[in-house]
Amino acid sequence: MAKSNAVTTASTVNFDQSRFDPAKDVSSMPNLLSSTPISNQKVDAAAFDPVKALEAAPELLEATPLSPTPQTFVSDFEVPEGQLTFDAEGLETKGPYFSREAHWPGGASGVTIGRGYDMKGRSEETILADLTAAGVPQADAELLAKGAGLTGKEASDFTKREDVAAIEITPAAQKALFSKVYDHYESEVKRISSKDDTVAKYGSVDFDKLDPAIKDVAVDLIYRGDYTSSTRKEIQQHLVNNDLQGLYDLLSDESKMTGDWGVPQDRFERRRDYLKAALDAQAAAAAPQE
């Protein structure tokens, strides 16, 4: 079979120069006939004084920021206080411990959402106000508030309802709810520690000077229900003495914590490791600088 050789022919534009009238054809675009502005300016290079020019415009010497307005990124999973408790109270992984859906942690807990917002001891009105203030849509907040006061099987059944299970609050709403709950429990630690009988028995706690790690753990203890009249017999002296090492020694006793106190293994390890990290940081800060 014979092969045909294709020939590509370029398109040709016929331009009749004899009919081109520059004056007429560019009359609609007069700028084409104007001189370039820079050529119209007379610049005497010898008279140019760069020092005077910079004095007239000093901002030319100033560094230009990458962004005129400083931008700060704050994660919805980092909290200013109570990171130990926030991390221990839920997960982002879908499952039984996914905290941004209503769930029942079991035991004496009620319907819970976020990192420890328990509805058992709260009224429907309070829950509705707290949820909407945190940014939860009104309709979702009204439905979730129906879980007020529920415990045990009733709480469990409520979280399994199709309409309730479909609700997922945002990370920002979860963070706002946690801050509200954490502030309450922090106030409770201070209130109990300041009671006349507590002070008479153990002494006063100087919360202004209390090591932040001790305070965080104390709030975590009451958050989970481990700060009781019984456990205070061993805990309170370390708050009064601002004794980080003493509190670590107590809470790192695994048999006492997981056995006598009934602390879950995960919570025991988190508290122990948190206090150990605080002790290490304290030692590093006290070490001579080379």
The per-residue pLDDT for 97 is 79
Predicted pLDDT at 117 = 95
- Cα separation, 262 vs 256, in Å, equals 8
How far apart CA 261 and CA 259 sit, in angstroms, is 6
- Among 227, 229, 202, 201, CA closest to 216: 227
Dihedral sign from CA coordinates of 219, 221, 227, 231? negative
Query: For the chain, which residues make up each domain, given as ranges?
Result: 83-174, 194-284
Contact 261, 231 (CB under 8 A): yes
* Residue 12, SS3 per DSSP: coil
Find, among 120, 131, 126, the residue nearest to 156 by Cα. 120
Query: Average model confidence (pLDDT) for the chain?
Result: 85
Q: Indicate whether this model's pTM tops 0.75.
A: no
How many other C-beta atoms lie within 10 A of the C-beta of residue 146?
Answer: 17
What confidence tens digit (pLDDT) does each residue in 103-161 have?
999 888 999 999 999 999 999 999 999 999 999 999 999 999 999 999 999 999 999 99
Which residues make Cβ contacts (< 8 Å) with residue 102, sequence separation at least 6?
A: 111, 112, 113, 144, 147, 158, 159, 164, 165, 167
